[in-house]
Amino acid sequence: MRTVSRLPGALTVTELNEFVKRLLDASPVLSEVEVRGEISNFKNHYGSGHLYFSLKDEMSQIKAVMFRSAAARLKFDPEDGMKVSVRGRVSSYPRDGSVQLYADSIEPEGVGALYIAYEQLKNRLAAEGLFDPSRKKLLPKLPTRIGVITSPTGAAIRDMINVTGRRFPAAKILLYPSLVQGAEAPAQLIAGIKVFNERCPVDVIIIGRGGGSIEDLWAFNDEGLARAVASSRIPVISAVGHETDFTICDFAADMRAPTPSAAAELAVPDTGELRGKLEHLIEREAAILAARLQRCRERLGQLAERRVLTDPASVVEDRRMLLDHLTDGLCRVETKRLENKRASLREEAAKLGALNPLAVLSRGYSAVYKEDGALVKEISNLTPGESARIVTVGGAALCTVDEIIPDKNVGDAITQ
């Protein structure tokens, strides 16, 4: 670039900023730089997909931007406070005259980007409860159909076939061939889970592969695969890598196996062990039945010695005597009750007899009735010259009232 010793005339702000930008863009040193620092003021512009942040050290900071095309290649999510190494170019944004770093790649310092991405996804899914033990489904005791999702050419499927055939030959293995590494692998692994859940039902699913680097196993750290495993209606065993390898799929599955061979051992029971358990159960049930039969025999012997079986006639005689005793007792009770009823009846009859008007008349009394049949209850009911009827023992007499005698002269009237 031609060196300018002095700018001609007065410049506008825009002209100055554009001039500075051209200077920065023309520098071969600034066209590709690597800058280490700490991320701050991080912002993910979800509308455009661009990432905006500052990169700082102990003394200063510089603004930085990563456009969507470059951000899509990141394996992890940048965060404030993360120490990183950023590759890109330095230029100026003419609108506000700020110098900033245009990032093409970001690598975390200390640990790899894949490890950070793995930890971030694991923590996020764990916070959602995707790995909660209460969501785990129990494995079937005697599976007859086992769905396996893995590479058809890998050692994993051969190991599982051998272990299953040796332990439980009755189980049938159904293989869904899938890539187990690379960008296209997660979609195929997810498709296998859907096939076994929707079109080809099995008792248990095994998904996995043999060991490898973190890059080789990265397909099993896919978020979509983890959600498909967790939502499967059929129990899933994850068997990825070796015993020390852990993937997101392992945490989402209903059970994790350290190796594919171990997954087959977890999926099916051992025929020899089942035979031993069955024989033990048969022996146990036989012992229980023998003990029960012996108790029944002893009980039968006790019953056979009872008097009702050895001398039934005596039992009948005893019952007959008891019946006679009960009959006598019943007769005595009924006789006593009848006597009480008769005494009560006599008492009530006596009370009624005392109230009989004829009994009163038999003691010398008479009843006086007026011509209209009304009973004369007191002397004021009669008047001289009135006819009356006197009823006494043996009949009645008709008479005429000649005189009314007051109470004080009643005695004299009776003597006359």
Provide the CATH number for the domain around residue 87.
2.40.50.140
Model pLDDT, residue 238: 95
Task: Looking at the structure, tell me whether residues 124 and 228 fall in a common domain.
Answer: yes
The Cα angle at residue 299 between residues 294 and 300, in degrees rounded to 5: 95
86 assigned to some structural domain = yes
Task: Looking at the structure, tell me whether residues 244 and 127 fall in a common domain.
Answer: yes
- With a cut of 50, say whether residue 1 has pLDDT above it: no
Model pLDDT, residue 256: 94
Instruction: Copy the structure tokens of residue 367.
Output: 């009843």
Q: What is the pLDDT of residues 18-47, one digit of tens each?
A: 888 888 888 888 888 988 888 888 888 877
256 assigned to some structural domain = yes
* Gap between the Cα atoms of 217 and 209, Å rounded: 8
* Gap between the Cα atoms of 204 and 174, Å rounded: 10
* Strands annotated E in 186-305: 204-209, 236-240, 255-256
More confident residue, 387 or 408: 387
Q: Which of 43, 37, 41, 34 is nearest to 89 (CA)?
A: 34
Task: Looking at the structure, tell me whether residues 157 and 205 fall in a common domain.
Answer: yes
Q: Give me the count of residues in the chain.
A: 416
- With a cut of 50, say whether residue 2 has pLDDT above it: no
* Gap between the Cα atoms of 275 and 241, Å rounded: 32
Task: Looking at the structure, tell me whether residues 102 and 160 fall in a common domain.
Answer: no
Model pLDDT, residue 415: 53
57 assigned to some structural domain = yes
Q: Which of 254, 223, 222, 224 is nearest to 237 (CA)?
A: 254
The Cα angle at residue 231 between residues 230 and 236, in degrees rounded to 5: 55
Task: Looking at the structure, tell me whether residues 153 and 35 fall in a common domain.
Answer: no
353 assigned to some structural domain = no
Model pLDDT, residue 370: 85
Mark which of 210, 242, 269 sits at the end of a domain: 269
- With a cut of 60, say whether residue 86 has pLDDT above it: yes
Task: Looking at the structure, tell me whether residues 70 and 149 fall in a common domain.
Answer: no
> Range of 37's domain?
13-110
The mean pLDDT of 53-73, rounded to a whole number, is: 88
Model pLDDT, residue 362: 67
| Residue 149 near residue 207, CB atoms below 8 Å | yes
352 assigned to some structural domain = no
Q: What is the pLDDT of residues 275-322, one digit of tens each?
A: 888 899 999 999 999 999 999 998 988 888 887 777 788 778 888 888
% helix, strand, coil for the chain, step of 5: 45, 20, 35
| Residue 274 near residue 280, CB atoms below 8 Å | no
Q: Which of 128, 150, 124, 153 is nearest to 220 (CA)?
A: 150
Q: Which of 207, 256, 204 is nearest to 233 (CA)?
A: 204
Strands 387-392 and 395-400: antiparallel
169 assigned to some structural domain = yes
Model pLDDT, residue 111: 57
Model pLDDT, residue 138: 95
Instruction: Copy the structure tokens of residue 135.
Output: 């969501």
Task: Looking at the structure, tell me whether residues 147 and 255 fall in a common domain.
Answer: yes
Mean pLDDT of the chain: 86
Task: Looking at the structure, tell me whether residues 404 and 382 fall in a common domain.
Answer: yes
The mean pLDDT of 361-365, rounded to a whole number, is: 69
| Predicted confidence band of residue 249 (pLDDT cuts 50, 70, 90) | very high
* Gap between the Cα atoms of 360 and 357, Å rounded: 5
Instruction: Copy the structure tokens of residue 285.
Output: 């049930």
The amino acid present at 46, given as its one-letter code, is Y
Task: Looking at the structure, tell me whether residues 44 and 125 fall in a common domain.
Answer: no
* Gap between the Cα atoms of 398 and 369, Å rounded: 10
| Residue 99 near residue 85, CB atoms below 8 Å | no
Burial label, 115 (beta-carbon count in 10 A; 0-12, 13-18, 19+):
middle
70 assigned to some structural domain = yes
Helix, strand or coil, per DSSP, at residue 55: strand
Measured between alpha carbons, how far is residue 195 from residues 149, 198, 205, 239 in Å? 10, 5, 11, 19
The mean pLDDT of 221-232, rounded to a whole number, is: 95
List the CATH number of the domain containing 183.
3.40.50.261
- Domain count for the chain, please give it: 4
235 assigned to some structural domain = yes
Task: Looking at the structure, tell me whether residues 210 and 333 fall in a common domain.
Answer: no
Task: Looking at the structure, tell me whether residues 258 and 318 fall in a common domain.
Answer: no
Instruction: Copy the structure tokens of residue 11.
Output: 């410049």
Q: What is the pLDDT of residues 145-157, one digit of tens each?
A: 999 999 999 889 9
Task: Looking at the structure, tell me whether residues 320 and 380 fall in a common domain.
Answer: no
